[in-house]
Amino acid sequence: MPKSKYQDIYKNLKQKIENEEFQYQELLPSENSLIQIYDCSRNTVRRAISQLVTDGYVQTMQGKGVRNIFQPVEQTSYTIGGIESFKESSARNHVVGRSEVLCFMEITADENIAKRTGFCAGTELFYLQRLHYLDNKPLIINHNYFLKDSVPGLTSEIAENSIYEYLENELHMTIVNSKRVITVEKITEIDEKYLHLNADDYNCMAVITSQTYNSDGTMFEYTQSRHRPDYFRFQDNAVRKPIN
């Protein structure tokens, strides 16, 4: 499914904000200017701005315009509310990221895997372990389960580049939402081995589990992402909903 025009505008403005083409507290071009710049409708511009507001990049001010409220953080930051690939997160944080596939295999979900992931027992899956580096430091280890029918042709080479890039650009999948749980868990032997953790210094780490769905309503991915606690922070932009 082709991407909407507003998504392209959203991504372009988001990139400009992150690259500091608009300074903190500076007003973005007016709505009319954006319509001319992107050759689109008023509604399209408003949808893109609305997404930037939701993600905490800008603030709309009645009668004044749209103000940039994005501030880069020193510590590498990962978003909770959005869905980003590791490659996209690395680019946003202006660091060099790379991924190493430690394990790639085809499995059939048994009762234990089904209970843990949410896939039905008997489902054919791809199981991957991937180690993610930022500026050559091993900082994240992911345990990925992908629904085999939804990601035909998946390979280790694709997994080392960007699986989401492959899904969206090659398979034309639309990734819609991801249900996530954040916990703090004790480190494992695998964590110690690959993330170079010393149990005397760090006996716990941040763990995010996610179940991700496409536009067909199919859960195509379950991931457990295990992060070194000394290098990461997670951010979100909370919006208060009106009370009826």
132-166, pLDDT tens digit by residue? 988 888 888 999 999 999 999 999 999 999 899 99
| Token couple for 51 | 């997404």
Examine the fold and report which residue of 38, 68, 98 is the final residue of a domain before the chain moves on.
68
244 domain-assigned: no
Checking if the pLDDT of 122 tops 70, the result is yes
**Non-local CB neighbours of 36 within 8 Å, separated by 6+ positions:** none
216 domain-assigned: yes
151, 164 contact by CB (below 8 A): no
Helix (H, G, I), strand (E, B) or coil at 92: helix
241 domain-assigned: no
57 and 110, same structural domain?
Answer: no
Is 114 buried (19+), middle (13-18) or exposed (0-12) by CB count in 10 A? middle
Residue among 20, 82, 23 at smallest CA distance from 56: 82
CA distance 203 to 52: 37
169 and 83, same structural domain?
Answer: yes
161 and 139, same structural domain?
Answer: yes
Residues 162-217: tens digit of each pLDDT = 899 999 999 999 998 889 888 999 888 898 889 887 766 778 888 999 999 999 99
61 and 83, same structural domain?
Answer: no
CATH number at residue 26: 1.10.10.10
Secondary structure element (H or E) that encloses residue 54, with its range: helix 42-54
Half-sphere exposure of 70 (CA within 13 A, CB side): 26
Arithmetic mean of pLDDT, 225-232: 82
Checking if the pLDDT of 102 tops 90, the result is yes
Q: What domain range is 44 assigned to? A: 5-68
| Token couple for 209 | 């589990």
85 and 24, same structural domain?
Answer: no
**117-153 exposure pattern, b = at least 16 Cβ within 10 A, e = fewer:** bebeeebebbbbbbbbbbeeebbbbbbbbbbbebbee
155 and 131, same structural domain?
Answer: yes
Checking if the pLDDT of 2 tops 50, the result is no
64 and 82, same structural domain?
Answer: no
43 and 131, same structural domain?
Answer: no
170 and 229, same structural domain?
Answer: yes
76, 92 contact by CB (below 8 A): no
Total domains, the chain: 2
209 and 182, same structural domain?
Answer: yes
Pairing of strands 76-79, 232-235: parallel
CA distance 176 to 160: 23
Examine the fold and report which residue of 68, 102, 119 is the final residue of a domain before the chain moves on.
68
172 and 94, same structural domain?
Answer: yes
98 and 218, same structural domain?
Answer: yes
CA distance 222 to 114: 11
Examine the fold and report which residue of 68, 86, 106 is the final residue of a domain before the chain moves on.
68
What predicted TM-score, i.e. pTM, was given to this entire model?
0.66
